[in-house]
């Protein structure tokens, strides 16, 4: 493929990929954060132990995390059509991306919150702090560095999911790689899309880790 055709094609692919990744990450965190907080609160050692609620949430999260993304995309096609009006394209792909990523994000946030020193929580309780105060003034601020690292990993994972979605018309660089690199045997397009995905992943990782280091109390800036 000539450069005058490839450049606009790749720029459009990058735009769609970043759009899917950014919006999906945002909505995955909007869904995943409350799930993670409920998991932490209702756990046997949590602030508000609820055995049934915890087991139910834990099971739902595990079920969705165990389904491969491409299979999940096919399973949720009716949901995708209900929300987006169609089952293909970059906007429609956001629906399965969020459904796939939210349980993963919930686990990442849960893991970060559980890293907080129990002594800090006990100190807040002894001062009369209620549960919302402990969550938003103690747990989340104390876990900030770990949460940022988790967000970096989650964003990278969603980027990978968005590329996989190209196999069934998801749009972005993944679809370009499949449509041109695989179906039409244009290996130059395939290699360029792979290189661009690697660059995007590296940028996400570098930016995320730099931000996390700036918030880490153990690291001198």
Instruction: Divide the 221 residues of the chain into consecutive groups of 10 and give the mean pLDDT of each group.
Output: 76 92 95 94 89 94 92 91 86 92 94 90 88 90 91 93 85 87 82 93 93 74 50
| pLDDT of amino acid 66 | 92
CA distance 134 to 139: 6
Under a CB-based contact definition with an 8 Å cutoff, are residues 13 and 196 in contact? yes
Predicted local confidence at residue 63, as pLDDT:
93
Per-residue DSSP letter, 97: H
Closest CA to 81 of 169, 161, 9, 5: 169
Centroid of chain to Cα 149? 12
Check residue 220 and give its pLDDT: 53
How is residue 221 written in tokens?
Answer: 């800036």
Contacts of 95 (CB under 8 A, 6+ apart): 76, 79, 80, 83, 84
Domain-wise residue ranges, the chain = 3-215
Please tell me the predicted confidence (pLDDT) of residue 149: 93
pLDDT of residue 87: 80
Task: Report pTM.
Answer: 0.88
> Rounded to an integer, what distance in angstroms lies between the CA atom of residue 38 and that of residue 106?
10
CB burial class (10 A; 0-12, 13-18, 19+) of residue 168?
A: middle
Neighbours of 121 (CB within 10 A): 17
Q: Which of 130, 104, 85, 100 is nearest to 35 (CA)?
A: 104
| Interior/surface letters 187-201, b for 16+ CB within 10 angstroms, e for the rest | eebbebbeebbeebb
CATH T-level topology, domain 3-215: MetI-like fold (1.10.3720)
Cα 24 to Cα 69, 130, 143, 187, distances in angstroms: 14, 32, 23, 29
**What's the gap between Cα 213 and its chain centre?**
20
What is the Cα–Cα distance from 78 to 82, expressed in whole angstroms? 6
């Amino acid at each position: 493929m000539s450069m005058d055709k490839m450049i606009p094609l790749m720029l459009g692919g990058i735009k769609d990929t970043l759009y899917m990744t950014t919006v999906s990450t945002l909505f995955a965190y909007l869904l995943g954060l409350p799930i993670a907080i409920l998991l932490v609160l209702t756990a046997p050692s949590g602030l508000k132990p609820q055995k049934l609620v915890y087991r139910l949430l834990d099971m739902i999260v595990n079920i969705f995390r165990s389904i491969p993304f491409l299979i999940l995309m096919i399973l949720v096609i009716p949901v995708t059509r209900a929300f987006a009006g169609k089952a293909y394209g970059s906007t429609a792909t956001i629906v399965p991306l969020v459904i796939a990523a939210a349980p993963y994000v919930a686990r990442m946030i849960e893991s970060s919150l559980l890293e907080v020193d129990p002594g800090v929580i006990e100190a807040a309780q002894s001062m009369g702090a209620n549960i919302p105060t402990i969550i938003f003034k103690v747990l989340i601020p104390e876990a900030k560095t770990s949460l940022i690292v988790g967000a970096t990993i989650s964003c990278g994972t969603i980027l990978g999911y968005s590329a996989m979605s190209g196999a069934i018309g998801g749009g972005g660089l993944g679809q370009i790689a499949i449509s041109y690199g695989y179906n039409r045997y244009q290996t130059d397009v395939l290699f360029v899309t792979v290189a661009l995905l690697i660059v995007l992943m590296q940028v996400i990782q570098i930016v995320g880790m730099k931000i996390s280091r700036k918030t880490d109390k153990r690291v001198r800036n």
